[in-house]
Amino acid sequence: MKSFPYIQPLNEMHGKHTTGCCFEALRMPFKSWLFLNVRPLVAPVGQQEPGNRGLLLPPPSSRRPVRLLPFVVDGCEEPGEVKQIKHVTDRQSAQSRSSGRGPAAGDGRQQPGLDVRSTGRAVGHSSDRAGHTCWCLFQTGSHDAMSYCLDINSPLLRSESDLFRLLDGFFYCFTRPVIFKWATTQDKTIEEQLSKGIRYFDLRVAHKPNDLSDDLYFTHVIYTHLTVLKTLECVAYWLDSHPKEVVILACSHFEGMDDERHESFISCLKRLFGSKLCPRKESVLSLRSLWASGYQVILSYESELVARHPQLWPAIPYWWANKMTAEEVISYLDWKKDVGRPEGFFVCGLNLTAPRAHITKNRKESLRTLTFSNWECLRRWVEKQKPGSDRNSLNIIAGDFVGPLPLCSLVIALNHKLRAKTSTQMTQHY
């Protein structure tokens, strides 16, 4: 069964709670909706429950930490395949915790017992590939990497349409559960994604409207409850424990940020990562050269301010199909391959996008169920791809739900094709 937040309306005009769930509001006259502002009903908790990372809401300044109370909707069940994979993942996590073999998220240690290829070790994962440039190797990426901690109580992005914002204001109790399940693209923390082998992170940064603080948040339709700097501190700590790992942080969007906020954010990034930042003028960008120089972070920054800071790289192209089915996404990506790859890094996005008309008509569906139902077709296409510098070879392959789906091990294993290709070329040379 799928859980949705149980929501009560709050009558702001009279300053007191009304009783019953949001569905009671359907019996009210329409004009009563004009004075209703619905909020999630929350209850204080001693500590966060396992598995509720994405639903933990930041408390108001005058309240204790809160969590959403689950409200089970009959008939909203995930497909058997999704529930089975989720069950296996949860069971394995519980076994690791009980046996003491699996470290807690964020402790900076690589999980023991995992195959080197499945952990994405050092991007190229092998000394025989350390001499290849990084854009000739396959790397695994996380689309909207921070959407696992979206704050269902946060405002919509200012870039959303006026009509959507109006509907969200009047029918909050209906729109928010839908937004949450279609905007959530990942279900693993940033540390768990790193340990899985993710080395490219799609990070969409913004400043909340009417927020007097300097805090920045990640976004995908709504805002996260984790701040940007706190999250990146976890990444820096993890890199300290893994000196031969290299990550690509792609910061983009920057809604609500002026030049002053940009400069302040860039200064914080420089202090945080320091000598780990690889300058864009690096002449030879191979794993061996990065290791020799101590560089671990390639920081892509989607702004014209990149020109002022040699530590920043320009925005990395992202091939986004904006399609709902695997067949349509594959058709778009094959067309982009025929046109030819760009120079340097670029991302091939496997993520699916459902139009709002489809979301409205299919209330029991979610981005998770859509992604899982299309996975097999996408997997077969990925297995046919090859690394290298050829015109139609790929570089970074990013997708949704990179935790439960075996995208990391699938993509990383493709780098063996590069060794086979090199061996063939040497044989032909001699």
Q: Report CA 332 to chain centroid distance, whole Å.
A: 22
Instruction: Report which DSSP code applies to 138.
Output: -
Q: Residue 85: what pLDDT?
A: 35
Q: Is residue 325 part of a domain?
A: yes
Q: What is the CATH number of the domain that holds 174?
A: 3.20.20.190
Does pLDDT of 37 surpass 90? no
CA distances from 214 to 60, 210, 258, 331 (A): 17, 11, 12, 43
In whole angstroms, give the CA distance from residue 40 to residue 176: 10
Does pLDDT of 277 surpass 70? yes
Does pLDDT of 126 surpass 70? no
Does pLDDT of 56 surpass 70? no
Contact indicator for 204, 117 with CB cutoff of 8 Å: no
Q: Residue 135: what pLDDT?
A: 67
Contact indicator for 194, 201 with CB cutoff of 8 Å: no
Q: Is residue 15 part of a domain?
A: no
Q: Residue 95: what pLDDT?
A: 45
Does pLDDT of 292 surpass 70? yes
Residue scoring higher pLDDT (268 or 42): 268
Residue scoring higher pLDDT (33 or 267): 267
Q: Is residue 82 part of a domain?
A: no
| Band of residue 418 on the pLDDT scale cut at 50, 70, 90 | confident
The per-residue b/e assignment along 245-281, b for 16 or more CB within 10 angstroms, e otherwise, is bbbbbbbebbebbeeeebeebbeebeeebeebbbebe
Q: Residue 160: what pLDDT?
A: 92
Q: Give the H/E segment covering residue 25.
A: none
Mean pLDDT across 369-382: 97
pLDDT, mean over the chain: 76
Mean pLDDT across 389-412: 93
In whole angstroms, give the CA distance from residue 229 to residue 268: 8
Q: Give the H/E segment covering residue 310.
A: none
The least confident of 80-89, 185-194, 289-298, 327-336 is 80-89
Q: Is residue 361 part of a domain?
A: yes
Enumerate residues 6+ apart whose C-beta is below 8 A from 125: 116, 117, 412, 415
DSSP 340-364: -PPSS--EEE------HHHHHH-TT
- Let me know how long the chain is: 430
Does pLDDT of 75 surpass 70? no
Q: Residue 136: what pLDDT?
A: 72
Enumerate residues 6+ apart whose C-beta is below 8 A from 182: 221, 354, 359, 366, 367
Q: What is the largest CA-CA distance in the chain?
A: 87
DSSP 327-340: HHHHHHHHHHHHH-
CA distances from 365 to 78, 173, 177, 395 (A): 8, 18, 12, 31
Q: Which of 377, 334, 335 is nearest to 352 (CA)?
A: 377
Q: Is residue 30 part of a domain?
A: no
Structure tokens at 109: 């240690």
User: pLDDT tens, 322-348?
Assistant: 999 999 999 999 999 999 888 889 999
- Catalytic residue set: 143, 220
Contact indicator for 313, 362 with CB cutoff of 8 Å: no
- The total number of structural domains in the chain stands at 1
Chain position carrying tokens 């080197």: 116
In whole angstroms, give the CA distance from residue 269 to residue 305: 14
| Band of residue 130 on the pLDDT scale cut at 50, 70, 90 | low
| Band of residue 70 on the pLDDT scale cut at 50, 70, 90 | very low
Q: Residue 113: what pLDDT?
A: 29
Q: Is residue 207 part of a domain?
A: yes
Contact indicator for 188, 148 with CB cutoff of 8 Å: yes
Instruction: Name the amino acid, one letter, at 344.
Output: G
Residue scoring higher pLDDT (350 or 387): 350
| Band of residue 419 on the pLDDT scale cut at 50, 70, 90 | low
Contact indicator for 137, 131 with CB cutoff of 8 Å: no
The least confident of 352-356, 389-393, 410-414 is 389-393
User: pLDDT tens, 230-240?
Assistant: 999 999 999 99
Q: Residue 420: what pLDDT?
A: 56
State pTM to two decimals. Answer: 0.72
In whole angstroms, give the CA distance from residue 303 to residue 173: 36
Q: Is residue 17 part of a domain?
A: no
In whole angstroms, give the CA distance from residue 51 to residue 30: 38
Mean pLDDT across 302-306: 96
Q: What percent of the chain has pLDDT over 90?
A: 58
Q: Is residue 336 part of a domain?
A: yes
Residue 363, domain extent: 119-428
Q: Residue 14: what pLDDT?
A: 37
Does pLDDT of 53 surpass 60? no
In whole angstroms, give the CA distance from residue 419 to residue 388: 10
Q: Residue 283: what pLDDT?
A: 66
Q: What percent of the chain has pLDDT over 70?
A: 66
